[in-house]
Structure 1
């Protein structure tokens, strides 16, 4: 079958978007479309320019016999701020306020289109890092973890509060929660990770950072390295945090349970990235 250039461009773009962070040899495209490598290279220049102009992402070309092309998801500052603004607008409703200063976020976490953009925001921040695994704790961090993993093209591991027979052999640790100072348990299957992997941990909400700190300690049991911390919403906290180095999209600056008011602002996403 002889492909027209317009057909190649559409199919090639779709393939690249479906395989982020994966090095694809030019020979794959040449054989698929029965076209010369020179024609494929010209097509990729068009895709690259379009991706960058529209803020879709970057197209990285790796020269040499073992080289190829790699799509790297990336968002413009304007697009990231649009996600932040949408989250702040949605979370500002007074009926989201829960006892203890928490916010109801289940409906947002269940919104696939919004979570896809949140995942791409964090993937953009960590695109230059070597990340092998995304880790979160059941249950509300799972949609965020899968969204980030989708754009970084890496697996997700889920830490649980108790052991399940379907998990096989597990590793468990005790940790202290940041706010209530209670002792809790984290459990992870021994088959979930391999020694030496670099892990990005994520969750939907962070106050003092006890849960995040617990996941960091769990990484040590697997001889893995922390690559970064991504939080959807961080709460203003005047006490000492257990986790300092993290990225957040929204900051819960204060709540007044008497008049049910919620004060929100941008998280540290841009300030922290500016430091790096």
Structure 2
């Protein structure tokens, strides 16, 4: 490969690193790819690191040692995260979103690629140091967000079903009690979905009582796996006591009043 100029090298480095979050890449591999000296690549990486800081989209960490290199760590600053969440609250506070029964319409949010990407980037920053092996969610509305988080963390996505399908092969079934409706429901996961002893991150769009998250924790035990993180986009303020304790919510829904046409929703990360 002919030698490339600095601007071209910076573009390649930025794309390679941000396309593969958490993946350790050596200076030697970049030097070979770009036909440049390691010292030159090291200087370029410093420039990329400073650029990422200015753009506020993550950072580059250096891993010392013979097997070391550099890796990209995604995430926004707290100020940028809060700004994104406040903007979401403004969108979700539109009283036209109130549905009969006091429900909140939010499909246009969780199916919007740009918004979901920003939300996923916030979650990635919160959970990156957990070293998760899989992102796991329950069909169906949480799938777009969970997929985006999995992409940001550079790990596979696992989807738990409510009913088994022939294409899943042998499966594990477990029952759980919904924290809000107090109904017994079923979770089904193919035996081939997870490797034993894996670390899981559960991502969902909405949590009221925490029954689904608790069900995921119990299901993970059947695979000898551990749920090391739980992230939800929106939690309701009531019930105050959830069925789980350690989780991160981005927004808190205080009230949806159908009669008074009131929506009170605030960022949780402040």
Task: Output the TM-score relative to the length of structure 1.
Answer: 0.94
Partner Cα separation in structure 2 for residue 95 and residue 161 of structure 1: 31
Give CA-to-partner distance per residue, 1:228-269, whole Å, 9 cap, x none: 1100000111453112211111111012121221111112x3
Number of the residue aligned with 2:185: 184
Structure 1 distance, partners of 2:248, 2:97, is 23
Select between 241-250 and 154-163 the one with higher mean Cα deviation: 241-250
Report the RMSD for the aligned CA atoms in angstroms: 1.2
Residues 25-104 of structure 1 mapped to structure 2, 5 A cutoff: 25-104=26-105
Can you give the 5+ residue segments of structure 1 that lack an aligned partner in the other structure?
271-276
Q: 2:147 aligned with 1:146, yes or no?
A: yes
Could you list the per-position Cα deviations for residues 152-172 of structure 1 after superposition, in whole angstroms to 9, with x for gaps in the alignment?
A: 101110001100111111101
Equivalent positions of 1:183-262 (< 5 A) are 183-238=184-239, 240-262=241-263
Note if contact 2:22-2:154 (Cα within 8 Å) is conserved in structure 1. Answer: yes
Report the Cα distance in structure 1 between the residues aligned to 2:248 and 2:99, rounded to whole angstroms: 24
Higher relative contact order (CA 8 A, sep 6+): 2
Aligned partner of 1:109 in structure 2 is 110
Structure-1 separation of matches of 2:141 and 2:153 = 20
Give the superposition deviation at 1:101. 3.3
1:10 aligns with 2:11: yes
Alpha-carbon contact 2:209-2:239 (below 8 Å) kept:
no
Task: Report Cα offsets for 1:119-152 as digits up to 9, x if no partner.
Answer: 0000001122111110100001101111111111
CA distance in 1, matches of 2:101, 2:203: 21
Partner-residue secondary structure (3-state), 1:131 = coil
Distance 1:115 1:3 in 2: 35
> Equivalent residue of 2:201, what SS?
strand
Quickly say closer, same or farther: Cα 1:99–1:219, change in 2 above 3 A: farther
5+ residue gaps in structure 2? none
Tell me how many residue pairs correspond in the alignment: 269
Partner residue of 1:167?
168
1:246–1:101 Cα change, 3 Å = farther
